[in-house]
Amino acid sequence: MVKSVRVGLAGFGTVGSGTFNILTRNGLEIARRVGRSIEVTQIGARRDNPNCDTSNYDMTRDIFDVAKNPNIDILVELIGGTTVAKELVLLAIENGKHVVTANKALIAEHGNEIFAAANRKGVSVLYEAAVAGGIPIIKALREGLAANRIEWIAGIINGTGNFILTEMQEKGREFSDVLSEAQALGYAEADPSFDVEGIDAAHKLAIISSIAFGIPLQFDSVYTEGISQITPADIEYADQLGYRIKHLGMTRKSENGIELRVHPTLISKNRLIANVNGVMNAVLVKGDAVGPTLYYGAGAGDEATGSAVVADIVDLARSLDGNPDQNVPSLGFVKTEDTSILPIDLIYTCYYLRIEVEERPGVLAEITKILSEQNISIEAVLQKETHKKGRLIPIIILTHRVLEKDMNKAITKIQALDEVGEEITRIRLEYLDAD
């Protein structure tokens, strides 16, 4: 008789309940895929979840009971955070259990240590649900695209930020107004900084980049910039020039190192990823053999994320009795290599500039002269007129690719002009084509 795979859930909130409901509802289907049944043996949670019938299940208020339970093969960590969760995962590993987690902060900040501990004990730690919810981007990078040398990845990997920018784009609303609605709808927390300032996306990008390029996890090296300074005017001007503004995570490998950056980005309307709206996520991967590939879907939610959690459980269940040395490495590479992360000053990209100036003859000529002195060429200029005396007028400039350090010098000089009023708005622009 084939032995069942015994699963312990630690954490029973939104994702925990989604995972439980999928495992119980689709149990027969999953068993056919695995060749044995998967049973929820124990649930560790502070409180019951009204969305699940757990009357016939072993419940404990101490999540560490799950990590120490000798009758559990796989611990599923769904409590979030990086302190207790790290202690829980390391305890489970020490007790010889495989681990599945949806915790992007835990993996991004402590993954190197966790994977090393798992390797010593001959167990696996899987984390598909940690990035982009139900989109199987981790499996795509570690397995489906294993034949490729990954050139770059660009992703909309935070649904809250994408919802805010979509509402601003479609309805001309202010950032603060949409943020309040996102909080009321439960898309954003009371403290929304993790979402709107790019920290959540930076956690995910650090993981994606490590898998793509075979480097250790380096969350602290991700350049992060939020969307709180984006205005309806910027969105409108970008639209007139043929672009959408998205909060993009971007990682690219070049001869000089690896780019790791999260920031607002202009993307051509013609790109599929520019038309990903609402709370949806999308990741665009460019491989040398396959070319650009796009992965799209729900980036959050109980069963969308639960789907990715269960997929990891299925993978582990299939290989439970095999040789752990034959499993896919945690970061997709048997051996990682330390490659330098490029500081933001040393990246090349195009730029959108919005410069508020006094309406006087020769101002545009002064600005273009400064740009030329820094070897910055202009692709397009959009100059608005005003008939109100004393009011600043916006000059919108799109540039060709330039070193960020040179752009910073130019912006400093332009800002010092007497005719320039408000702080210059600078947004990076990416073409995301086959370059």
- Assess contact for 401 and 350: CB atoms under 8 A: yes
Please work out, in degrees rounded to the nearest 5, the angle formed at the alpha carbon of residue 361 by the alpha carbons of 360 and 364: 95
Average pLDDT in the 132-150 region? Answer: 95
The helix (run of H) or strand (run of E) holding residue 264 is strand 257-268
Per-residue pLDDT of 147-166, as tens digits, reads: 999 999 999 999 999 999 99
Query: What pLDDT does residue 323 have?
Result: 67
Rounded Cα–Cα distance for residues 88 and 69 (Å):
12
Instruction: Give how far the C-alpha of residue 5 lies from the chain's centroid of Cα atoms, to the nearest Å.
Output: 31
Per-residue pLDDT of 227-256, as tens digits, reads: 999 999 999 999 999 999 999 999 999 889
Instruction: Give how far the C-alpha of residue 415 lies from the chain's centroid of Cα atoms, to the nearest Å.
Output: 33
Query: What pLDDT does residue 9 have?
Result: 98
CB atoms within 10 A of CB 208: 25
Count the residues in the chain: 435
- Assess contact for 296 and 133: CB atoms under 8 A: no
Active site residue 68: no
Model confidence at 374: pLDDT above 50: yes
Question: To the nearest whole number, what is the mean pLDDT of the chain?
Answer: 94
- Marked catalytic residue, from 86, 97, 104, 204: 204
Q: What is the percent of the chain where pLDDT is above 90?
A: 85
Per-residue pLDDT of 306-349, as tens digits, reads: 999 999 999 999 988 776 666 778 888 887 888 899 999 999 99
Alpha helix positions (H), 185-254: 193-196, 199-213, 232-240
Q: Characterise 236 by phi-psi region: left (phi > 0), alpha (psi -120 to 50), beta (else).
A: alpha
How is residue 346 annotated by DSSP?
G
Query: What pLDDT does residue 386 have?
Result: 64
Burial 316-337 (b: 16+ CB within 10 A, else e): bbeebeeeeeebbbbbbbeebe
Average pLDDT in the 402-409 region? Answer: 97
Per-residue pLDDT of 186-230, as tens digits, reads: 888 888 999 999 999 999 999 999 999 999 999 999 999 999 999
Model confidence at 387: pLDDT above 70: no
Phi first, then psi: give them for residue 223, nearest 5 degrees.
-75, 130
Q: Characterise 390 by phi-psi region: left (phi > 0), alpha (psi -120 to 50), beta (else).
A: left
| Of 396 and 328, more confident | 396
* Tokens 């916006």, residue located: 394
Contacts of 108 (CB under 8 A, 6+ apart): 202, 203, 204, 206, 207, 217, 219
Instruction: Give how far the C-alpha of residue 194 lies from the chain's centroid of Cα atoms, to the nearest Å.
Output: 11
Model confidence at 435: pLDDT above 50: no
pLDDT tier at 1 (50, 70, 90 boundaries)?
low
Model confidence at 434: pLDDT above 60: no
The pairing of beta strand 223-224 with beta strand 243-254: unpaired
Q: For each of the domains in the chain, give its residue range(s) and CATH number, in order of start.
A: 5-134+302-326 (3.40.50.720), 145-298 (3.30.360.10), 344-429 (3.30.70.260)
Looking at residue 358, its amino acid is E
Average pLDDT in the 55-73 region? Answer: 96
Query: What pLDDT does residue 117 have?
Result: 97
* Tokens 């603060």, residue located: 176
pLDDT tier at 384 (50, 70, 90 boundaries)?
confident
